[in-house]
Amino acid sequence: MNKINHKAAIVAGIVYYGIQSAWFTVFGKAWLAALGKTLPQIMSELDGKPYWPLYVTAFVCDLVLAYAIAYVFALTSTRGAAAGMKLALVLGVFIVTPVTLTNYVFEMHPLALVVIDAGCAVFGFLVMGAIIGGWQKKATT
């Protein structure tokens, strides 16, 4: 863990959280349509429960993902924004997307939902890869 740049991982997790917020603001209507729900339906499913656990859970998961990427980069000696983006793209396309697709196929969700949800993850991974790969710790002497 001491090869991980903790500042870069934390910033990457925060940035990814912001990306998700922006992504679902932009694609919100398409996402709801693919989900087959309206915003009032989702709000009624919360049934008066507080919203904050949803956001805290998402934020913690984003930090976990950023640290996982940082750990993989440390194991593979990935250095530089371009190299970080390349490896993060592989992780997003070949791990996150198939897991999402497998779950959604059995849940009978349309392909549009897979594209929106996995697309957000892949884009977020690219950005986190650039941050973590490009923000290297200073060498200690």
Tell me: the pLDDT tens digits for 40-65? 999 999 988 999 999 999 999 999 99
**Burial letters 105-134, b for 16+ CB under 10 A, else e:** eeeebeeebbbbbbebbbbbbbbbbbbbbe
Residue 103 structure tokens: 């779950």
Query: What confidence score (pLDDT) does residue 48 get?
Result: 87
Number of independent structural domains in the chain: 1
> What is the model's pTM?
0.93
In a domain, 42, yes or no: yes
- Give residue-wise pLDDT tens across range 61-84: 999 999 999 999 999 999 999 999
Mean pLDDT of the region 86-96: 98
Q: Confirm whether 107 is domain-assigned.
A: yes
SS3 108: coil
Distances in Å between the alpha carbon of 29 and those of 39, 43, 55, 100, 108? 9, 15, 20, 20, 19
**Does a structural domain hold residue 141?**
no
- Decide if 1 is inside a domain: no
Is the pLDDT confidence value at 93 over 70? yes
140 belongs to a structural domain? no
- Which structural domain, as residue segments, surrounds residue 58? 6-134
Residue-wise pLDDT for 101-130, tens only, equals 999 999 999 999 999 999 999 999 999 999
